[in-house]
Amino acid sequence: MDSAELDALLTPAALRLLDELDAGAAEADVAGTVSRLRRAGHAPELVSAVVGQARLRRRAEAKFGEFSRRMLFTRAGLEQATRMSVSAHHAGRFRAAGLSRVADLGCGIGGDALALSSLGIAVTAVEADEVTAALAAYNLAPFRDVGTRVVHGRAEEQDLAGLDGLWLDPARRTAGHAETRRVRSEDYSPPLDWAYEAAGRLPTGIKLGPAHDRDALPAGGEAQWISVDGSTLELVCWSGALARPGVGRAALVIRGGAAHELTAPADTPDEPARGLGDFVHEPDGAVIRARLVGDVARALGAGPVDERIAYLTGDAEVTSPFVQSFRVREELPADPKALSRALRERGIGRLEIKKRGVDVDPAALRQKLKLRGPEEGTLILARVGDARVAILADRVPRA
């Protein structure tokens, strides 16, 4: 989105037309929607802006729910925005710490600032990109009465006096409103050294990618990895009053709207490897990233199938919100030809393939297996010692 498209969009006529447009229909039939609006006499630039926004609103429903119906987006801004289910947890932490005046430095389209403001927290939302700042101002306009405002500027140039806390989401991709690419951590904006220094002065949450170098995390404070419905989305470094006493590592797992959290003072030791038992447990990615697999293993009476592999195994018929459990049927030959023959003999026609520690393309393997039959199952491939193992199993429903 450029300034001309923004100007066309931020008019009463365009916004009214956008609110009247069926976002689902616009997403399903772009050409038909454009033709209908052009026949109605609307200018080409207005039609382009409105239809583009309608499609983005439709896609934004997965992240923002009903909030998406009155928000404006850029494609990159939507892709990089925090899901509302996650930002609500962030905002709740600020409220629990009693922080009432917060700066969101690098606010993007305003998703986290929206969650904070909805709890009555006055937010100074700062965004370096002029177009994105304008969209954030529109998205946050309903919260002016709680003191929320948007500033177009760079995070490191802001006066932090009078604030109770900070939320930072450093830009980890190149600038732009559509196609962007990741940059090295030393090229984040604002720079991480500046962000860490600010976190030493005020209670702060810093959002980073989940694969961020653990050796480069700031000393002290709390590191929390967060996953939603099986996808590990982010790492947040908390400092000051926002960091919980005695918690150095945390894994927040959100599934279907329910949240579960595992915490520890530091990385926890792993259990010894053991032979294949009646169950295999796959730890959630946030648990693996937080290095809390050992705590989960002990709770399940399990241990890793190999000290280098994050599959757990045990005989106890138990599961946990922090794993996906599988009941083992049997171990099968790992050779593709022998495996294909074994699966056909068992009538397996639908197969979920999971892997760790082995160089296998599941899609290519599926073609080689030539599956046939009415049965289904899960194939777990893993490296155990120097050997590749193939385990046929069934998913255990979550409690």
Q: Which of 206, 238, 264 is the last residue of a domain?
A: 264
Task: Taking residues 183-193, report their average pLDDT.
Answer: 77
Q: What is the mean pLDDT of the chain?
A: 92
Are residue 364 and residue 322 in the same domain, yes or no?
yes
Q: Output the CA torsion 202→228→355→391 (10° steps).
A: 130
Contact present, 311 and 353 (Cβ < 8 Å): no
Contact present, 151 and 163 (Cβ < 8 Å): no
First-to-last C-alpha distance (Å) of the chain:
45
Are residue 148 and residue 283 in the same domain, yes or no?
no
Are residue 87 and residue 236 in the same domain, yes or no?
yes
| pLDDT given at position 181 | 57
pLDDT band of residue 41 (cuts 50, 70, 90) is: confident
| pLDDT given at position 381 | 97
pLDDT band of residue 161 (cuts 50, 70, 90) is: very high
pLDDT band of residue 357 (cuts 50, 70, 90) is: very high
Task: Taking residues 301-317, report their average pLDDT.
Answer: 96
Please give the model's pTM, rounded to 2 decimal places: 0.89
Are residue 309 and residue 230 in the same domain, yes or no?
no
Is there a domain that residue 73 lies in? Answer: no
| pLDDT given at position 34 | 84
| pLDDT given at position 176 | 52
Are residue 124 and residue 247 in the same domain, yes or no?
yes
| pLDDT given at position 183 | 60
Is there a domain that residue 113 lies in? Answer: yes
Are residue 61 and residue 82 in the same domain, yes or no?
no
Is there a domain that residue 71 lies in? Answer: no
Are residue 58 and residue 82 in the same domain, yes or no?
no
| pLDDT given at position 42 | 84
Between CA 202 and CA 197 the distance in angstroms is 9
* Burial per residue of 171-198, b for 16 or more beta-carbon CB atoms within 10 angstroms, e otherwise: bbbeeebeebeeeeeeebbbebebbbeb
Between CA 30 and CA 178 the distance in angstroms is 18
Q: How many structural domains comprise the chain?
A: 3
Are residue 253 and residue 314 in the same domain, yes or no?
no
Contact present, 59 and 78 (Cβ < 8 Å): yes
Q: Which of 332, 159, 167 lies closest to 237, judged by CA? A: 167
Are residue 53 and residue 138 in the same domain, yes or no?
no
**What confidence tens digit (pLDDT) does each residue in 103-150 have?**
999 999 999 999 999 999 999 999 999 999 999 999 999 999 999 999
Instruction: Give SS3 for 303.
Output: strand
Is there a domain that residue 321 lies in? Answer: yes
Element (H, E) at 49: helix 44-64
pLDDT band of residue 76 (cuts 50, 70, 90) is: confident
Is there a domain that residue 272 lies in? Answer: no
Contact present, 341 and 366 (Cβ < 8 Å): no
Are residue 57 and residue 82 in the same domain, yes or no?
no
Is there a domain that residue 270 lies in? Answer: no
Between CA 123 and CA 144 the distance in angstroms is 9
Are residue 60 and residue 83 in the same domain, yes or no?
no
| pLDDT given at position 13 | 86
Are residue 244 and residue 322 in the same domain, yes or no?
no
Burial of 25 (0-12, 13-18, 19+ CB in 10 A): middle
Domain limits for position 382? 279-395
Beta pairing class for 231-238 and 204-208: antiparallel
**What is Dmax (Cα atoms) for the chain?**
72
- Residue 312's identity, in one-letter code, is L
Is there a domain that residue 136 lies in? Answer: yes
Task: Taking residues 224-250, report their average pLDDT.
Answer: 97
Whole-number Cα distances in Å, 190 to 74, 107, 166, 170, 193:
21, 12, 13, 6, 9
| pLDDT given at position 10 | 87
Is there a domain that residue 97 lies in? Answer: yes
pLDDT band of residue 21 (cuts 50, 70, 90) is: confident
**What confidence tens digit (pLDDT) does each residue in 276-297 have?**
999 999 999 999 999 999 999 9
Q: Is the pLDDT of residue 399 over 70?
A: no
Between CA 52 and CA 26 the distance in angstroms is 9
| pLDDT given at position 37 | 87
pLDDT band of residue 177 (cuts 50, 70, 90) is: low
| Residues shown for the chain | 399
DSSP 263-278: EESS--PPPPP----S
CATH number at residue 112: 3.40.50.150
